[in-house]
Copies of this chain bind each other. A is one copy, B any other.
């Protein structure tokens, strides 16, 4: 079981890959066996995140174009929050990317977060591990930097790129502290706007090694993704970084992060919330939560 599918995926069969992703997404019977049979793979994962409106999709689109031009193959996972409120906006972005759907060098898959509020996607680790089997040169995981996703992406990607726009000034200082800490590379997109240079300067100051635990300054790249400007420099920075981050230390750290996340999910699933609620309802007036937990868990 699954060996045939895995062979087909290895040979570049996009349909089988798409189908097996759906099996994992929907937890079709046997999907855990499939995962346990995945061969080891070194395909690097490029994580791209940042606030809404930073131009992540346009940037990914430009990156795909450059990679395809260089004869490389690339798989893209787009994780979109699945709220009724933002369907329109996101669909617009995705349409731009659709020109690649017929290109055999490019595989694009959208995943909705399905109400896992602020999370990346409950099966993103598993799905990206499956994608690695297909032998693409790169895997790009693109996600809106909402809630936990920016932290989760750092535990998933071999390199994490945070995209911001020049007017993000205040945002970066207050809201996106999380983004600061996970970025391996910063992209200031829409860098043709006024004050872009000042913003880049301030960002570089903030990213000075004194302020965080990176041993080297985090690169800051200026791009205008809609005009394909700065994309080549970005790609070079990415590939250069792989020579650093590919170190065994970082790889085993990443694997431990993934394992931690998967185990955590398993343990959470094992907590029976309904039973918990029932027992709490049965409890008397002098109910003490901490004594309760101590007795039951």
Check B266–A83 contact: CB distance below 8 A.
no
A286 partner, pick from B40, B277, B288, B293, beta carbons under 8 A: B40
CA of A258 to CA of B271, assembled, Å: 13
Q: Which of A239-260 contact B (CB under 8 A)?
A: 248, 252-253, 255-256, 258-260
Give per-residue flags for A21-38: 1 if the beta carbon is below 8 A from chain B beta carbons, else 0.
000000000001001111
Q: With an 8 A cutoff between CB atoms, is A104 at the interface? A: no
Q: With an 8 A cutoff between CB atoms, is A289 at the interface? A: yes
Residues of B with C-beta under 8 A to A172: 85
Residues of B with C-beta under 8 A to A252: 277, 280-281
Given A147-B148, A293-B263, are A287 and B40 also a contact pair (CB < 8 Å)? yes
Q: With an 8 A cutoff between CB atoms, is A235 at the interface? A: no
Check B147–A178 contact: CB distance below 8 A.
yes
CA of A286 to CA of B287, assembled, Å: 51
Given A85-B211, A86-B174, A211-B85, are A289 and B258 also a contact pair (CB < 8 Å)? yes
Q: How many copies does the complex hold?
A: 2
Given A286-B40, A288-B40, are A180 and B85 also a contact pair (CB < 8 Å)? yes
CA of A255 to CA of B293, assembled, Å: 11
Query: Does more than half of chain A's interface fall in helix, strand or loop, or is it mixed?
Result: helix
CA of A84 to CA of B206, assembled, Å: 9
Q: Which of A258-277 contact B (CB under 8 A)?
A: 258-260, 262-264, 266-268, 271, 273, 276-277
CA of A258 to CA of B255, assembled, Å: 30
Residues of B with C-beta under 8 A to A262: 289-290, 293
- The chain A residues found within 8 Å of chain B, CB to CB, are 32, 35-40, 51-53, 81, 83-86, 89-90, 117-118, 126, 129, 144, 146-148, 150-151, 170-175, 177-178, 180-181, 206, 211-212, 248, 252-253, 255-256, 258-260, 262-264, 266-268, 271, 273, 276-277, 280-281, 285-294, 297
A-B contact pairs, 21 of them (CB 8 A): A32-B290, A35-B288, A36-B288, A36-B291, A40-B285, A40-B286, A40-B288, A84-B211, A85-B177, A89-B173, A118-B148, A129-B290, A146-B177, A146-B178, A147-B178, A255-B289, A258-B289, A260-B271, A260-B276, A262-B289, A267-B267
A252-B280, A256-B280, A259-B293 known, 17 other contacts, Cβ within 8 Å: A32-B290, A38-B290, A51-B175, A52-B175, A85-B174, A89-B173, A118-B151, A126-B290, A146-B178, A147-B147, A147-B178, A255-B277, A255-B287, A255-B289, A264-B267, A267-B267, A267-B268
